[in-house]
Amino acid sequence: MTSVSKSLHWRIASRLLVAWLVLSAIAGSAAYYLEQGRLDDFVSRLVGTEASRISARIAPKAFESQLDRYLPAIEKTLAESRFVGIRLYGAQQKILLERWNTLDAKVAEDVAAHHHRFLGISGKQARNYWIDEKLYIQSVQPLSEGKQTYGYLEGIYQVDAHVTAALIHHIEDVVIAVVVMVTLTSLVLYPVILSLNRQTIRLADDLLQTDLDLLQTLGSAIAKRDSDTDAHNYRVTLYAVKLAEFLNLKRAEIQSLILGAFLHDVGKIGIPDHILLKPGDLTPEETRIMRTHVELGADIVSHSNWLRRSREVVLGHHERFDGKGFPRGARGEYIPLIARLFAVVDVFDALTSRRPYKEPIPFDESLRILRAESGSHFDPDILAAFEKIAPEYYEQFYLADERSLQAMLQNVMAKYFLMEIPG
């Protein structure tokens, strides 16, 4: 299995795993809150029953002045049920009376820290918490007559250990069932998702391959119009990629560099033939017109979302490190890195290549010429890096014919633009 194939399998498996964990957590939480809600409702009904008894025994106006009348009923409730504490509040939410039926002082202390907020809260007034691995539910019911609320009754209920254990086991069973269901679903969906991803990758690669073919065709057309050959575009792109890899540039930067290498002279399409193909020296005015090919090229690629990535190379490959280049006179690190890099390999290949108007300059002499321009035309650090790799790749690329260069370039394109289809 290839690294790309492993990557695709891992991405799909990891995303299914995340979905599995999320669904399991949601189902477990839902089961817990559902069962807890049932317990809350049960305790709220018990507290509500007590509240109804109290409301039936006394008039609202006499509630706070006759608290002793409720004590027998409260004591009986504590003795005959699993309530461990009952508190009565007045209309102003102050505790008027409380009784406890527990030897555990910690329960009363902890419950005291969990007062309800009565005002502005409608609906069920119940919540739960754990104390020493025991589940308690705290519920409040208003004491009212008509629309008038004259007090509140709060009950603290200890859930039976068997009920608590049953709740936990039920949650565990639900979680296990969800895990099993999600696992089975994932196993069924995995090959389907993998197949869809493969189809998507194939379609994306087909479209991208078409774009790359058009890119190479456009680059070839530019080269032929400039009395050049495809070999120059191939070599300069290969040199640029090898230098970029040596400098540890990011994948996205190398992609932009490749596009720029193919299209660096695309603006020459707009230069008149009598200037572009002139065999002799250009006049100052002709030189000015020739130099406009840089901005023409930048304008051409700016109209395509994909080709726009080549703009830094197209616009910056004639800039000089000392700021004496064109079209903007940028200098140093104000020139984009990939443009500074491309300037080195472009000039090197121009020097070592045979052109209609000159013979190729030997390798050592070409490097000497480049070295003489270090710090003026070229970035010294990039040139120093290129000198380290130049001997190896000069032997590899200079002696190769166009077909071999094209094959090497196809491998580079596949590496940086195409995603391998997993088997």
**Sequence-separated (6 or more) residues with CB below 8 Å from residue 37:** none
User: CA 70 to CA 54: how far, in whole Å?
Assistant: 7
Report the 3 state secondary structure along 216-252. Answer: HHHHHHHHHHCCCCHHHHHHHHHHHHHHHHHCCCCHH
Annotated catalytic residues are: 268
User: CA 314 to CA 264: how far, in whole Å?
Assistant: 4
Residue 321 in contact with residue 208, Cβ under 8 Å?
no
Which of 325, 356, 357 is CA-nearest to residue 339? 325
| Angle (CA) 331 337 338, round 5° | 125
User: CA 363 to CA 383: how far, in whole Å?
Assistant: 15
